[in-house]
Structure 1
Amino acid sequence: MTKTDSTRAGHIQIRDPFWSEYIRLVREVMVPYQWKAINDLVEGAEPSHAIRNFKIAAGREEGEFYGMVFQDSDVAKWLEAVAYLLETKGDPELEGIADDVIDLVVQAQREDGYMNTYFMLKEPGKEWSDLAECHELYCAGHMIEAATAYYRATGKRKLLDAVCRFADYIDLVFGTEPGKLHGYDGHQEIELALVKLYHATGNEKYLELSRYFLEQRGQQPHFFEQEWEKRGRTLHFPQLSMVHDHEYSQSHLPVREQTSAEGHAVRLVYMCTAMADIAAETKDAGMLAACRKLWDNIVNKRMYITGGIGSMEQGESFTADYDLPADLAYAETCASVGLIFFARRMLQLHRNSEYADVMERALYNTVISGMSLDGTRFFYVNPLEVYPEVLGKNKNYNHVKAERQGWFSCACCPPNVARLLASLGDYMYSAEADTLYAELYIGGRVETVVAGMGVVIEQHSDYVSEGRVRFEVTPEQSAEFTLALRMPGWCDTARLTVDGKHRQLSSGDSDGYIRLTRMWQPGDTVELCFDMPVKRMKGHPLIRQTFSKVALQRGPFVYCLEEADNSARLYQLRLPEESEFILTEAEGVLHGIPMITVSGKRLKSAAAWVEGLYSSDAALASEQAELKFIPYFAWANRGVGEMSVWIEEEAKR
């Protein structure tokens, strides 16, 4: 087991034809918009009350708690996104606003360290009585993540000291000792946050508390049922069965014994992220083995082609192996964000490019599909097929939307996207001894240390449009080390140029990386050009919903059909096996990513349909149709209409 470290975002400046626009949107649009949202200033959007809850708890205003039981987490995630933005670029005005929020949060904190506006305002005295449902430790975890990020960005300790007091209080409440609660959270989050707090403070107590929460999970007798009996069998969310459905919260088995992805998808990947953290910090081979089993089940049997996970609306959950319906998909944006967290941790533990491939797939498809191109509207759910005529009528599709929303009563996804994109530099590179790994091909400048030597890497990227990247390597002085470049899983051949010498590549090393070990001189350049043909992707034959269908992918992008380009009734369209693909400019799609145009067919009734639903002699006829596919992330930016990722493939006769 080898632990590698990501290069800190503060030492990376992103300058990329695709991603710079997203970073600008986060800084100039999303974070200000979300600030308005949590202050209830967005006209027509679902009220948040998140900031006002803290003002009431701090005694600055009078009123009652409003919102979901986890409303505090929206403030924490907003603060975390702000911290990442400040780390990469100073902004005194934004920092001042964040400092004011931190003052408010700290003022609201109880003397014993406790911090949760729902229980402080609405149910005082009932703290820790409903861990299965009420998200106390989840909210604590998000505030800890915000505090560690803000301390890293600014060096200011006020929020960090506050969450340390809170974590110390939690440590007094929970544990195996007599008199302590032998419990754990219903929604995993505190575990990965405590590892970050350990990194920020060096206090091993927080690492051990994280491990405690993981190890306690799934033990018998079942804690959630014990506390349910103790509080008089009351439920906060009776429709979700959080207490009795142990798989929902991954508490059906001890974490080391879990081999398949069960229950709520976000909870599962947050838990796996913490498991990987503990495996890395404690050299726990058994915990790593459990992580690998869960990873394999997710990506090989329960993940959509877009990197979405969680195929069922009820419980926002996984279902069964190979059950991946396109139209009923839940694929919560937060779940793909969590999958990226998990992938990054696995990449740091076990050097294999497959983890970065999944990270890339989720990032370029589901995560950025979760926000509109202008950064002001959001998807919670990311289906792979939408038929608007049934929405609002067929209750099976109540979770599906044909257009992004301004805000949500359960608003976890928009700030999750913001904090991930604001920290994108953390995911681009990782270092291990004398090797620097390039994981994501995103243009920009990184300052790092490899083999004890300071090195500056300038990456120039046309990756998303042409598959082309160029690195300028500038060590402080001549030095020998290895630059390892990921060979994307979607690429079959690449052309590598180093010092004017060319090589054709069909693969990387056994772990998927192209390693360049040499004596590097200031100003050395490396160029890579990945072939980016349009590929017809097929699902595993046990995925009944995609059998005989194909999806198109070019580079990291999965494509889809949209009614705006292809008229209605997308289910009538067919893609012949022999059709050739043409790349054309796509209006309204970012930065040169092309539309795919291909000659196809539309099946229609050969004659006018007589009255009645069914007929024994209704033949079908086909007509030529020009099919147009756009990147999946860009759908639903041109009004309400049908969309489909998968299309029936018509075999040669």
Structure 2
Amino acid sequence: MNQHADIARDAVRPKSKFRPPAVHQVRVGGFFGPRIDTVATVTAHTLLDRCIEAGMLDQIDPDRPNPGIRIPFQNNSTVSTQMFWDSDFGKSIETAAYALFRKPDPALEARVDAVIEAYARLQDENGYLNSWYQRIQPGKRWTNLRDCHELYDAGHLIEGAVAYYHATGKRRLMDIMARYADHIIDVFGTGEGEIPGYCGHPEVELALVRLGRATGEQRYLDLAKFFVDQRGRAPHYFDREAEKRGEGPKDYYFGSHEYTQSHEPVRDQRRVVGHAVRAAYLYSGMADVSTEFGDETLQPALRSLWEHLTDKNLYVTGGFGPSHFNEGLTFDYDLPNETAYAETCAAVSLVFWASRMLGPGPDRAYADVMERALYNGALAGLSLDGTTFFYENPLESRGGHHRWRWHRCPCCPPNIARLVASVGTYIYGEAENEIAVHLYCESIAELEAAGIKVRIAQETRYPADGAVRLTVDLASPAEFALHLRLPGWSPGVSVHVNREPVDLAAGTANGYLTLRRVWAAGDVVELDIDMPVERLRAHPKVGADQGRVALQRGPLVYCLEEADNGAFLNSVVLRPGSAFRCEPAEDLGGAVALVAEASREAADAGGPLYRTEAPSRAAATILAVPYYAWDNRAPGEMLVWIRQEEGA
């Protein structure tokens, strides 16, 4: 008999703290509304089109011939079958689910239902479901957890299944994946004949928590905790597994188990290492387990990992992982701009992790980073028209970096699409007698506090400006706490309740204002968040950014593009006292652009390579646009970190 139940019984089980609302509880407008509409009408179909064009349905559907090489890329290369294709379909189904919640689309729903039925035909009688091991490499299941994504694939299909159930009410895929999860419970454990392992690419942990919450079945939460607890224990499972395959542990391509964050037990980890996306997925699962089980033993590791990332390894855009080699971390303060990898999936998964760090309670340290990663490093991964995608996200380009139509490893397109389409679930948090507002965006949320339904209508043009109005509606007066984030980037916030000013000093903790009162229908909370243009400077150990500044207004980081400023962007030099004015960029959907006076150094083509005299400068007007919107117009250079005159 496996040990999952025994592990679970050892944990303290308080009532759950803050959980995010499900997607069907929040209707989003404002800044994200048009983006969700684009995902619903364009991107959701585009993802399915390109998955099928790549041959994914051929790999999944047992009624189709075995797949072969299929999809051409923009560099004229092709891609063959992939072990992680189930994950891409899972995320695409999740995106489609959110699209269907946004607006009915019978054609899209029929397409998803057809894919679900293909999975139903593929599933083994015992519940096993993985197209790679059933169609491409039969007989090798559970033999290479380190490299081959079996549980990772299951995780994304589980998340797609839960989303599809919430959005449409259809249980077909969720029942399929619950059967698979039950099979995994039978296979994994520390008992005789069971596998005491875990996935080389974490993800299934957070997916199992979502399945447990949706079904109310404790065994899925217990399995998530099992995978978290087993990771990195000695003797190392991946070494034993490799030996069974006839391989030496020292033959591992990446050399160290730091790549998979399994180099030591998770509670002992203090530094973010290895593959960036795997890291943030693991920490997301750890945070979920900590919240669901009241497991405080995970918190020291989670807090230290968070501080190590945000204090020494996070790009100003909220991206992380500078290296192409391991798609992840190298050494502290290694934050190059032009060669930054900063995978879109890394910023997306950082949003996941930050959101889950809010489980114990509101804390601006996490919500501010969630917002930074969401609006900048993640959102840049999707073009404004919803059809092309960034995989890498540099902070400087000479003009040759552009979005992909598709990718050999198409993990990022559905990942950013599902995040944008489900952004309403990140805006709020629910607890027994508390509601938290983590993000500001026009929305209507149907939440619960103090045992009653609470409707919150949020009106705002944020991030265009910082005025936010929240109207509370409930059937009868009730007492609960409403927590409001006071953004760390803002030098000043004022709050009024029913036009009466609130003393922020008396009610603020961890960057949130807590309003605990008896609420009645029609109560109005108004925030006025100062949103000046800030010039950010990097830590002295970030060599690439010295003598330079990054522009930020509200949650948005800005960049210069050749389309507005001409070529040779490194010749731009900001003046210390230059004022900025805001103008709408109509060719970027009305995004707020920043205009300022600066200088430009002469960039003549002739003359010696090195010289003693300083280059001449001329006055110039520059225009900066939000980083998320770059590469949506004419191709050209891009620059985030701008030179600034000394003494500024």
Is TM-score (shorter-chain normalized) higher than 0.5? yes
Q: Which of 571, 594, 597 is the aligned partner of 1:596? A: 594
Take 2:256 and 2:190, find their aligned partners in 1: how far apart are those partners?
A: 24
Q: Does 1:384 align with 2:395?
A: yes
Question: Aligned equivalents of 2:452 and 2:124: distance in 1?
Answer: 47
Q: Which residue matches 2:169?
A: 155
Q: How does 1:400-411 map to 2 (within 5 A)?
A: 402-411=401-410
Structure 2, unaligned runs of 5 or more: 1-13, 70-79
2:588·2:632 contact (CA, 8 Å) conserved in 1? no
Could you tell which deviates more after superposition, 444-453 or 297-306? 444-453
CA spacing shift, 1:573–1:519, aligned 2, 3 Å:
same
The alpha carbon displacement at 1:227 in A equals 2.3
| C-alpha distance after superposition, 1:244-264 (max 9, x if no partner) | 321111111111111011000
1:10 pairs with 2:24:
yes
Which residue of the partner structure matches residue 7 of structure 2?
Answer: none
Change (3 A) 1:507 1:132: farther
- Find the counterpart in structure 2 of residue 635 from structure 1: 630
Distance change (3 Å), C-alpha of 1:167 and 1:503: closer
Q: Is the 8 A contact 2:507 2:515 kept in 1?
A: no
Equivalent residue for 2:262? 251
Taking structure 1 as the reference length, what is the TM-score of the superposition? Answer: 0.91
1:234: how far off? 9.1
CA displacement 1:396-440 (0-9 Å, x = unmatched)? xxxxxx211111121001101111122111111112333221111
- Superposed, which structure 2 residues align to 1:128-139 within 5 Å? 128-139=142-153
Alignment partner, residue 340 of structure 2: 329
2:585 is paired with a residue of what secondary structure? coil
C-alpha spacing 1:292/1:164, structure 2 compared with 1 (3 Å):
same
Aligned-pair distance for 1:90?
4.2
The residue that corresponds to 1:59 in the other structure is 63
1:275 matched to 2:271? The reply is: no
User: Aligned ranges for residues 572-611 of structure 1 at < 5 Å?
Assistant: 572-591=571-590, 593-604=591-602, 609-610=606-607
**Residue pair 1:496, 1:529 contacting (<8 A) in 2 also:** yes
User: Which whole-Å CA distance do the structure 1 matches of 2:317 and 2:165 have between them?
Assistant: 34
Deviating more after overlay: 448-457 vs 368-377: 448-457
- State the match for 2:371 in structure 1: 360
State how far apart, in whole Å, the 1-side matches of 2:112 and 2:605 are: 64
Q: In the TM superposition, what are the counterparts of 1:610-629 in structure 2 within 5 Å?
A: 610=607, 613-615=609-611, 617-629=612-624
- Is 2:117 the counterpart of 1:103? yes
- Describe the shift of the 1:452–1:192 C-alpha distance in structure 2 as closer, same or farther (beyond 3 A): same
Are 1:31 and 2:44 matched, yes or no? yes
Paired residue type of 1:535: E
Asked if residue 50 in structure 1 is aligned to residue 50 in structure 2, the reply is no
Q: 1:298 aligns with which of 292, 296, 309?
A: 309
**Distance in 2 between residues matched to 1:454 and 1:207, nearest whole Å:** 26
Structure 1 residues 472, 574: closer, same or farther in 2, change over 3 A?
same
Q: How does 1:408-419 map to 2 (within 5 A)?
A: 408-419=407-418
Distance 1:7 1:210 in 2: 20
- Per the TM alignment, residue 386 of structure 1 is displaced from its structure 2 partner at its CA by 0.8
Quick one: structure 1 residues 526 and 208, their matched pair in 2 at CA, closer, same or farther if it must change by over 3 Å?
Answer: closer
Question: What is the distance in 2 between the residues matched to 1:618 and 1:153?
Answer: 65
The correspondence for 1:164, drawn from 178, 189, 211, is: 178
Aligned partner letter, 1:595: A
In the TM superposition, residue 626 of structure 1 has moved relative to its aligned partner by 1.3
- The count of corresponding residues between Structure 1 and Structure 2 is 623
Q: Deviations over 1:71-92 (max 9, x none)?
A: 1111111111222333454444
Cα shift at 1:487: 0.6
Shift of 1:484: 2.1
Name the CA distance, whole Å, in 2 between partners of 1:136 and 1:595. 45
State the partner residue of 2:203.
Answer: 189
Between the aligned partners of 1:71 and 1:234, the Cα distance in structure 2 is: 28
The yes-or-no answer on 1:430 pairing with 2:441 is no
Contact 2:581 2:596 in 1 (8 A): yes
Answer yes or no: is the 8 Å Cα contact 2:483–2:513 preserved in 1: yes
The one-letter code sitting in structure 2 at the alignment partner of 1:482 is A
**Counterpart-to-counterpart distance in 2, 1:164 and 1:583:** 51
Tell me how far 1:123 sits from its aligned partner. Answer: 1.4
Q: 1:474–1:521: 8 Å Cα contact kept in structure 2? A: yes
**2:35 aligned residue (22, 25, 31):** 22
Separation in structure 2 between the aligned mates of residue 595 and residue 251 of structure 1, nearest angstrom: 44
- Please tell me the residue identity of whatever aligns with 2:618: E
- Fraction of identical pairs, as percent: 43
Assess if the C-alpha contact under 8 Å between 1:135 and 1:185 holds in 2: yes
Q: Does 1:308 align with 2:319?
A: yes
Are the aligned partners of 2:22 and 2:166 in contact in 1 as well (CA < 8 Å)?
A: no
Contact 2:165 2:174 in 1 (8 A): yes
Mapped contact 2:45–2:108 kept (Cα < 8 A): no
Out of 247, 253, 265, the residue aligned to residue 241 of structure 1 is 253
- Equivalent position to 2:224, from 206, 210, 222: 210
Distance 2:352 2:187 in 1: 28
Question: Superposed, which structure 2 residues align to 1:74-89 within 5 Å?
Answer: 74-89=88-103
Paired AA for residue 614 in structure 1? Y
> Residues 24-72 of structure 1, C-alpha deviation per residue, up to 9 Å, x if partnerless?
01100100111111121xxxxxxx21122112xx224454584222011
SS at match of 2:260: coil
Query: Would you say the 8 A contact 1:493–1:506 is kept in 2?
Result: no
The TM-score, its normalising length taken from structure 2, stands at 0.92
| CA RMSD, Structure 1 to Structure 2 (Å) | 2.2
For each residue in 1:335-371, what CA deviation from the matched residue of structure 2 results, as whole angstroms up to 9, or x when unmatched?
1111111111111124212211111111111111001
Greater CA deviation, 7-16 or 331-340? 7-16
In the alignment, which residue of structure 2 is the partner of 1:349? Answer: 360
Other-structure match for 2:520: 521
Aligned equivalents of 1:63, 1:428: Cα separation in 2: 41
Which residue of structure 1 lines up, in the alignment, with residue 75 of structure 2? none
Distance in 1 (alpha carbons) for counterparts of 2:17 and 2:144: 36
What is the Cα deviation at residue 596 of structure 1? 1.0
Residue 540 of structure 2 corresponds to which residue in structure 1?
Answer: 541
Tell me, what secondary structure is at the counterpart of 1:349? coil
Q: Check 1:439–1:266 CA distance in 2 against 1; reply closer, same or farther (3 A cut).
A: same
Q: In 2, are the aligned partners of 1:340 and 1:363 still within 8 Å (CA)?
A: yes
Amino acid of the structure 2 residue aligned with 1:216: Q
For 2:538 and 2:614, locate their aligned partners in 1 and report how far apart those are by CA, in whole Å. 29
**Is the Cα contact below 8 Å between 1:564 and 1:638 reproduced in 2?**
yes
Q: Counterpart of 1:488? A: 487
- In the TM superposition, residue 456 of structure 1 has moved relative to its aligned partner by 1.6
Q: Secondary structure at the match of 1:52?
A: helix
- Name the CA distance, whole Å, in 1 between partners of 2:168 and 2:525: 35
Identify which range, 3-12 or 149-158, moves more after superposition. Answer: 149-158
Conserved 8 A contact 1:577-1:649:
yes
Q: Which residue of 1 aligns with 2:77?
A: none
Q: CA deviation at 1:204?
A: 2.7
Instruction: Quote how far apart the aligned CAs of 1:584 are.
Output: 2.0
Gaps of 5+ in 1: 41-47, 392-401
